Amino acid sequence: MSRATSGVEALRVEDLRVYYPLRRTLEEVLRRQQRYLRAVDGVTLSIPEGATLALVGESGSGKTTVARAVVGLVKPTSGRILLWGRDVSSLRNRELREMRRAVQMVFQDPSVSLNPRMRVGDQVKYPLDVNGIGTPEERRAMALEALRTVGLTPPEEFYSRYPHQLSGGQRQRVAIARAIVLRPKLLIADEPISNIDVSARAQILELLRSLRERMGLSMLYITHDLSSAWAIADSVAVMYLGKLVEHGPVEEVFSDPRHPYTKALLQAVPSLDERKAGGEVVRLKGEIPDPLNMPSGCRLHPRCPFATERCRREEPPAVKVGENHWVYCHLFA
């Protein structure tokens, strides 16, 4: 599963925090208090060039916010985002535009991310128009080539269609064509198969895999679907309520998960057998807590069957449990 990489980091996220200020009550205004929703709270991860990292977790874990911060759609509260070693916050004008072009995103729902009133070809061509790349004829040729690359053939036919004339899988192919037309080096795929028919999911996953090989892409693959993470990624990072709980090589984490939350997630996937889910059955109690009211200490402690008094008080540190395999849990500290 693990593929050779150049040793260069395509993406490095350091201690990323994204806090959203909450609307204040009159009492809070008078006391000059401000509460925050801590959507992402100190996430550090990296993707070697040419590799794929799957960022997994339930909805509300903060994984999409990490992705949106990387592409500049969300402003980090603190922390650093480095692309090929360059801190994005230090880039200006042309350098920033070039870096932004090198990182493209495929969104979860193509029926939302595509404009229903624009022809498919014009939407794929749009990033070229905005960036002033080539002549109008060259831009059209590049858009046609992108449609061909994602398997929408003959591309001339798809070029003039509207999104509603396509299936969900075809729409997601258009969204992918639009993302690759600028020849990016890093692709962020945010739940790219969760809003399309089951029958098309394997094909879209295979398309992403083949694009990665053909274009030498690095990839951040966001998903709540562990089976697809297993199928596409070299490494995996698991998030819970804005924090990482475990990360490491995908085969190692899936065959020998350490964190109780990772174990519980894996055991909930019928297609991953018990051996891959780490043997011992972990049953979490209750539901995900209200993110506006984060638990103290380890955020999993109200649900974790192994929680101790220390878990209620102290945030668990990162503990190395294998080569590039880290877990955030007091059981290993």
Under the criterion CB under 6 A, does residue 316 sit at the interface with ligand SF4? yes
Q: Judged by CB under 6 A, which of 147, 300, 325, 326 binds ligand SF4? A: 300
Q: For residue 329, state whether it binds ligand SF4 (rule: CB under 6 A).
A: yes
Residues 293-321 as b or e (16 or more Cβ within 10 Å = b): eebebbbbbbbbeebeeebeeeebeebeb
Contacts with ligand SF4 by CB under 6 A: the residue count is: 12
From the list 306, 313, 322, 324, which residue makes contact with ligand SF4 (rule: CB under 6 A)?
306
The reply on whether position 330 binds ligand SF4 by CB under 6 A is: yes
CB of 280 to ligand SF4, least distance (A): 13
258 binds ligand SF4 (CB under 6 A): no
CB of 45 to ligand SF4, least distance (A): 19
Is the Cβ of residue 309 or residue 323 nearer to ligand SF4 in the bound state? Answer: 309
Contact segment (CB under 6 A) with ligand SF4 among 208-216, 220-228, 270-278, 305-313 equals 305-313
In one-letter notation, the amino acid at residue 245 is V
Task: Tell whether residue 331 is a contact of ligand SF4 (CB under 6 A).
Answer: yes
The yes or no reply on residue 38 touching ligand SF4 (CB under 6 A) is no
User: Judged by CB under 6 A, does residue 260 bind ligand SF4?
Assistant: yes
- Min dist CB 262 to ligand SF4, Å, is 10
Q: Which is nearer to ligand SF4, 29 or 333 (CB)?
A: 333
Q: Which of residues 189-218 bind ligand SF4 (CB under 6 A)?
A: none
Smaller CB separation from ligand SF4, 228 or 262: 262
Q: Which is nearer to ligand SF4, 145 or 256 (CB)?
A: 256
Q: SS3 letters for the chain?
A: CCCCCCCCEEEEEEEEEEEEECCCCHHHHHCCCCCEEEEEEEEEEEEECCCEEEEECCCCCCHHHHHHHHCCCCCCCEEEEEECCEEHHHCCHHHHHHHHHHEEEECCCHHHHCCCCCCHHHHHHHHHHHCCCCCHHHHHHHHHHHHHHCCCCCHHHHHCCCHHHCCHHHHHHHHHHHHHCCCCCEEEEECCCCCCCHHHHHHHHHHHHHHHHHHCCEEEEEECCHHHHHHHCCEEEEEECCEEEEEEEHHHHHHCCCCHHHHHHHHCCCCCCCCCCCCCCCCCCCCCCCHHHCCCCCCCCCCCCCCCHHHHHCCCCEEEEECCEEEECHHHC
Among 114, 174, 217, 304, binds ligand SF4 (CB under 6 A): 304
Residue 71 lies near ligand SF4 (rule: CB under 6 A): no
Residue 98 C-beta: closest distance to ligand SF4, Å:
42
Q: Which residues bind ligand SF4 (CB under 6 A)?
A: 260, 298, 300-301, 304, 306-307, 311, 316, 329-331
